[in-house]
Amino acid sequence: MKSSARQTTPVKIKIAGLNLWYGDNHAVKGIDMAIPANRITALIGPSGCGKSSFLRCINRMNDLIDHVRIDGQVIVDGKNIYDNDVDEIAVRKRIGMVFQQPNPFPKSIYENITYAPLKHGQVRKGRESDALVEASLSSAGLWNEVKDKLHSPGTSLSGGQQQRLCIARAIAVSPDIILMDEPSSALDPISTEKIESLMLELRENYTIVIVTHNMQQAHRTADYTAYFHLGELVEYDETKKLFMNPGQQLTEDYITGRFG
Amino acid sequence: MKKSKKFNSERLMVLVLAMASAISILTTVGILFSILFQAIEFFQLKSFWYFITGTEWSPGQMDSRFGALPIFAGTFMITIIALTIAIPAGIGSAIYMSEYASPRWRNILKPLLEVLAGIPTVVYGFFAALTIAPAIVSFAELLGLDAAYNSALACGLVMGVMIIPVISSLSDDVLRAVPDSQRNASLALGMTHSETIRHIVVPSAMPGIISASLLGLSKAIGETMIVVMAAGLRPNLSWNPLEDMTTVTVRIVDALVGDHAFDSPDTLSAFSLGLVLFVITLILNMISLAQIRKFKTRYKISSL
Amino acid sequence: MNNHPFHDPGLKARHRSARLFKWYATASIALTLAFLCFFLFDMGRTAFPALWQTYVKVDVSYSEKTLRLTSKAIDRKYRKIVSRAWLRNIRRQVEVKPELMGHTLSQWVLADDQVDQYMKGHHYNLKVKQIAVVEALKVEGAIEMRWNNIFFARGDSKLPENAGLLSALIGSLLTLGVTMLVAFPLGVMTAVYLEEFARDNTLTRFIEVNINNLAAIPSILFGLLGLAVFINLFGLPRSSPLVGGLTLALMTLPIIIVSARAALRSVPDSIRQAGYGLGLTRVQIVQDHVLPLAMPGILTGSVIGVAQAMGETAPLIIIGMIAFIPDSPTSIVEAATVLPAQIFTWAGLPERAYVEKTAAGIVVILLILFLLNTIAVYLRKKYEIKC
């Protein structure tokens, strides 16, 4: 039961009949969804509703967990990423991810950024990677704060800075899509605000899908919002419409705080 | 009145407990001094300088000479062979268990490696002498080489296998203590599983892996039974692992099992060798402990 | 078909190196376990023949002459066939059963080790004439292999066919008894002190570092300590289970301390708080409430400590526990040997017949260690359910 969002922009990710089981636990149930390009799409819903599991299907992070079974299609730019001829490494290269807890590597800020692009052969050491570090950190709004200590460890930054470093690290691989799994739930309000305004800037160049517990966050940042309940997609619409005039009783109960 | 009596017995109890824990310090002090005094006595009879640099070890003679260099060299050779086996295999096993094996497999593999760790070294020694050493002689013959029946290679190989679980067990603990968020971060950047292990997980766990390897090194240097049973007695300054060599521990046993007077230089030489062993292993243990502390503070881990 | 947006030919090489790396990790553990299998198989194969011993049926005459010179009890041609150890026993046979005197009985007697080796198809040292005698006995059905009782019922012997593990087993038992009597209380007391009473000061930290270090000191150095302190300084008897046990106790101490501390730490603090609430003293709380809860964990660690001490050889060699001990020791101050030392002694003997005995000794010690570890695992399981 859902009303599909009226799309005014081209579709970036088309999800069709997606199911996911952890062993016998049917965690994601038959999701059909079209995620528009260069927009922020928020996934909300109570804990255990399958929104994070769903998010991890989009860059095949669930492949790594034992006893997980997935069927259905996730079509990105016209290609199902679960097709046999698709390499999950190539998928994750194009679809970046930012996690709930900031997780910089125990390396320098500089190396945090350049690690993956160097291994992917996207840049060479020296001037190219210097430029990449500056560009990525600037996009993540972190350049001015860290430009004088690029070689100190990434873990020496504050929590909010670490999370922006993680975003810069994801951007450095030049993905088209960035998935964010509750990116600010571990941060203070000021850092959260910085992350949110960063997301709005990044929307220009990236398709962003964010899982959040925080309905205000979805309201403030997302163009479209999807409400998940018990593994099902209950409602998916423009954020404004979903919050002002939810089409489903379940959605209304959730956003008015009757449960959560 | 009753209360103060209770209080006194309480204090007495704590005092007794404190004294019990002093035993461990006494043991270390006891080992140090029992070795040190006899070693000093030895160096009053024989030159310390020659002991460190001399190349002839000939106890039990009129003009006995105690140059320990060939003994150190033999120890070094066998230790190097052992670590060449144990470090790659130990770390590889640890990586397999912590990164690739499913929980079910790990629960099978870990106890199996513990079996290997629990085998008494006298058993390894017998195996080295009975099975491995003759096999090496035959194999060398096939290649047209000459191998001794108590070759350094045979000891080193078996000792290497003995040390694998020492290294793999601690390394496995350390690798598993690296938070999963690190692995996820790397994988989400499009790195392969093995790149993630090589570039992220292993470097993070490096202090612990170094600690484990140093522990293995210390074990190899101090190992006695394998070399007593499968290595030679002849101090031999050579680079050829197919030759027989002797080690510090072998000479300690040899000096103390014979019927020499306790204050003869022959017997006392065992303590001077023991002193060297004590100092080297102590330094290795200290570095090893410092490394593991470094790892613990990095990830704020209190167990391990 | 390959022109989809996720096509990336550069990944091929990276996947190849990934496979190579996984292959390396798998090979490491596979080779290690292959070694374990090969080793266990090789020991088992070598040890197996020791389970049987050859007996021959010959006429034995009991007379005055026989008692004077026991080798006269049997036909000349059997002199190298029958075990000298059995012949030596004739005098005692007669002492126990005097009615044997004056009779000649056809009976099964223990064969010499060379005959035994010949029967088992090993390397043997028999003259052609003696082989003929053995073959004749075979035809008569007067030679057979029997379950080797001697191996478990007797002590060491210079004659391989008469050598057994019993004295070493008892020596091990006495030694480990001393070890645990000393190490268990000391270890638990140290752990209780460090965990429950000690303040976190420099001295405490020094004790901790010291215990960690003690655990990594080469075992042979403990032997030097035992020799210099227990034997030379205190004058305790050399080669005795007392000295051996004390030496091993110092080695086992760190293992017990570490496991006991872990067990004490896992007792929830609420138990202690509850005790304070009832007005109990710290000693009372620890004694009556904390220690009993930690006991299974402490016992697990102690059993592991015993298992380690059981296989320890080097320090015991230094303090002389490799003496030849045919009769089982009856006290902790007599000269004794222990299982691994017995294995070491046998491994060094030139007679081929000792090889299988050594391997059999090894199988016995491995079985005991397996048993001890099973007990430890059982205790740990029980403990886990409780908490």
The 10 Å CB-count burial string (b at 16+, else e) for B122-136 is bbbbbbbbbbbbeeb
Tokens encoding B226:
């394998």
Tokens encoding C382:
């029980």
Q: A148-155 — which CB contacts under 8 Å span 24+ positions? A: A149/A109, A150/A108, A150/A109, A150/A110, A151/A108, A151/A109, A151/A110, A152/A108, A152/A109, A153/A106, A153/A107, A153/A108, A153/A109, A154/A104, A154/A105, A154/A106, A154/A107, A154/A108, A154/A109, A154/A112, A155/A104, A155/A106
**Cβ-defined contact of B181 to A103 (cutoff 8 Å):** yes
**pLDDT tens over chain C, length 387 residues:** 457 888 888 889 999 999 999 999 999 999 999 999 999 999 999 999 999 999 999 998 888 888 888 888 888 888 888 998 888 888 888 888 888 888 888 889 999 999 999 999 888 888 899 999 999 999 998 899 999 999 998 888 888 888 999 999 999 999 999 999 999 999 999 999 999 888 888 888 889 889 988 988 999 999 999 999 999 899 999 899 999 999 999 999 999 999 999 999 988 889 899 988 888 888 889 988 899 999 988 999 999 999 999 999 999 999 988 888 888 888 898 999 999 999 999 999 988 899 999 999 999 999 999 999 999 888 888 766 554
Do A55 and A179 form a contact (C-beta atoms < 8 A)?
yes
Q: What is the DSSP string of chain A?
A: --------S-EEEEEEEEEEEETTEEEEEEEEEEEETTSEEEEE-STTSSHHHHHHHHTTGGGGSTTEEEEEEEEETTEETTSTT--HHHHHHHEEEE-SS----SSBHHHHHHHHHHHHTSS-TTHHHHHHHHHHHHHTT-HHHHTT-TTSBGGGS-HHHHHHHHHHHHHHT--SEEEEESTTTTS-HHHHHHHHHHHHHHTTT-EEEEE-S-HHHHHHH-SEEEEEETTEEEEEEEHHHHHHS-SSHHHHHHHTTS--
Q: Out of C32, C359, C373, name the one closest to residue B116 (CB).
A: C32
When pLDDT is averaged across residues B234-263 and rounded to a whole number, the result is 87
Strands A68-76 and A40-44: unpaired
**pLDDT tens over chain A, length 260 residues:** 344 445 567 899 999 999 999 988 999 999 999 999 999 999 999 888 889 999 999 999 988 787 899 999 999 998 999 998 999 999 999 999 999 999 999 999 999 999 999 999 999 999 999 999 999 999 999 999 999 999 999 999 999 999 999 999 999 999 999 999 999 888 899 999 999 999 999 999 999 999 998 888 999 999 999 999 999 999 999 999 999 988 888 888 888 876 54
Report the C-alpha gap between C248 and C310 in whole angstroms.
9
Among B100, B180, B189, the strongest candidate for a mutation testing the A interface, having the largest count of A CBs within 10 A, is: B189
Looking at the complex, report in whole angstroms how far the Cα of residue B148 sits from the nearest Cα belonging to chain C: 17
**Cβ-defined contact of C311 to B88 (cutoff 8 Å):** no
Enumerate the residues of chain B whose CB falls inside 8 A of the CB of residue A120. 190
Mean pLDDT of chain B: 90
Topology of domain A11-103+175-255, CATH: Rossmann fold (3.40.50)
Residue of chain C with shortest Cα separation from B132: C39
Surface of B (33-92) touching C: CB under 8 A: 34-35, 37-38, 88-92
**Cβ-defined contact of A86 to C6 (cutoff 8 Å):** yes
Give me the pLDDT at residue C77, please. Answer: 86
**Contacting residues for A170 by C-beta, under 8 A, at least 6 apart:** A96, A97, A98, A178, B188, B189
Looking at the complex, report in whole angstroms how far the Cα of residue C382 sits from the nearest Cα belonging to chain A: 29
When pLDDT is averaged across residues B277-284 and rounded to a whole number, the result is 94
Cβ of residue B271 closer than 8 Å to a chain C Cβ: yes
How far from A169 is each of A79, A139, A149, CA to CA, in Å? 26, 10, 16
**Cβ-defined contact of C198 to B21 (cutoff 8 Å):** yes
Residues paired with residue C145 on neighbouring β-strands, in sequence order: C54
**Contacting residues for A49 by C-beta, under 8 A, at least 6 apart:** A228, A229, A230, A231
Tokens encoding A28:
């994601």
Topology of domain C166-386, CATH: MetI-like fold (1.10.3720)
Q: What is the DSSP letter of C302?
A: H
Helix (H, G, I), strand (E, B) or coil at C104: strand
Give me the pLDDT at residue A3, please. Answer: 43
Report the C-alpha gap between C193 and C202 in whole angstroms.
15
**Cβ-defined contact of A99 to B184 (cutoff 8 Å):** yes
Q: What is the largest CA-CA distance in chain C?
A: 106
**Residue B1 reports pLDDT greater than 70:** no
Domain B48-302 matching CATH 1.10.3720.10: the answer reads yes
Helix (H, G, I), strand (E, B) or coil at C3: coil
Alpha helices in C89-165 (DSSP H): 90-96, 113-119, 128-140, 150-153
CB atoms within 10 A of CB A150: 17
**Cβ-defined contact of C5 to A87 (cutoff 8 Å):** no
**Cβ-defined contact of B187 to A64 (cutoff 8 Å):** yes
**Cβ-defined contact of B189 to A173 (cutoff 8 Å):** yes
Listed by start position, the domains of chain A span 11-103+175-255
Give me the pLDDT at residue A5, please. Answer: 46
Integer Rg of chain A from CA: 18
**Contacting residues for C198 by C-beta, under 8 A, at least 6 apart:** B18, B21, C204, C207
Enumerate the residues of chain A whose CB falls inside 8 A of the CB of residue B105. none
Give me the pLDDT at residue A8, please. Answer: 65
**Cβ-defined contact of B28 to C14 (cutoff 8 Å):** no
Listed in order, the ranges of chain C carrying CATH 1.10.3720.10 are: 166-386
Residue of chain B with shortest Cα separation from C323: B257
Give me the pLDDT at residue C322, please. Answer: 85
CB atoms within 10 A of CB B260: 17
**Residue B75 reports pLDDT greater than 90:** yes
Residue of chain B with shortest Cα separation from C8: B190
**Cβ-defined contact of A89 to B192 (cutoff 8 Å):** yes
**Cβ-defined contact of C190 to B118 (cutoff 8 Å):** no
Looking at the complex, report in whole angstroms how far the Cα of residue C155 sits from the nearest Cα belonging to chain B: 20
Q: Which residue has the tokens 């090889």?
A: C355
**Cβ-defined contact of C228 to B90 (cutoff 8 Å):** no
Report the C-alpha gap between B16 and A26 in whole angstroms.
61
Enumerate the residues of chain B whose CB falls inside 8 A of the CB of residue A90. 190
**Residue B3 reports pLDDT greater than 90:** no
What are C195-227's pLDDT values in tens digits?
Answer: 988 888 888 888 988 998 898 899 999 999 999
What are B195-240's pLDDT values in tens digits?
Answer: 999 999 999 999 999 999 999 999 999 999 999 999 988 888 888 9
Alpha helices in B46-68 (DSSP H): 48-53
Residues of A with CB under 8 A from a CB of B: 59, 61, 64, 66, 89-94, 96-97, 99, 101, 103-107, 115-116, 119-120, 166, 169-170, 173
Give me the pLDDT at residue C387, please. Answer: 47
Looking at the complex, report in whole angstroms how far the Cα of residue A39 sits from the nearest Cα belonging to chain C: 20
Give me the pLDDT at residue C105, please. Answer: 87
Give me the pLDDT at residue B13, please. Answer: 87
Cβ of residue B286 closer than 8 Å to a chain C Cβ: yes
Looking at the complex, report in whole angstroms how far the Cα of residue B31 sits from the nearest Cα belonging to chain C: 5
Do B171 and B90 form a contact (C-beta atoms < 8 A)?
yes
Do A178 and A206 form a contact (C-beta atoms < 8 A)?
yes
Tokens encoding C107:
């009976």
**Cβ-defined contact of B122 to C310 (cutoff 8 Å):** no
Looking at the complex, report in whole angstroms how far the Cα of residue B40 sits from the nearest Cα belonging to chain C: 14
Report the C-alpha gap between A113 and C77 in whole angstroms.
90
**In this complex, which chains have at least 3 CB pairs below 8 Å with chain B?**
A, C
**Cβ-defined contact of B190 to A99 (cutoff 8 Å):** no
What are B112-131's pLDDT values in tens digits?
Answer: 998 899 999 999 999 999 99
Tokens encoding B241:
């692992």
**Residue B247 reports pLDDT greater than 90:** yes
Give me the pLDDT at residue B284, please. Answer: 94
Among C6, C14, C15, C19, the strongest candidate for a mutation testing the A interface, having the largest count of A CBs within 10 A, is: C6
Give me the pLDDT at residue C5, please. Answer: 82
Tokens encoding B281:
């292993």
Helix (H) or strand (E) holding C109: strand C104-110
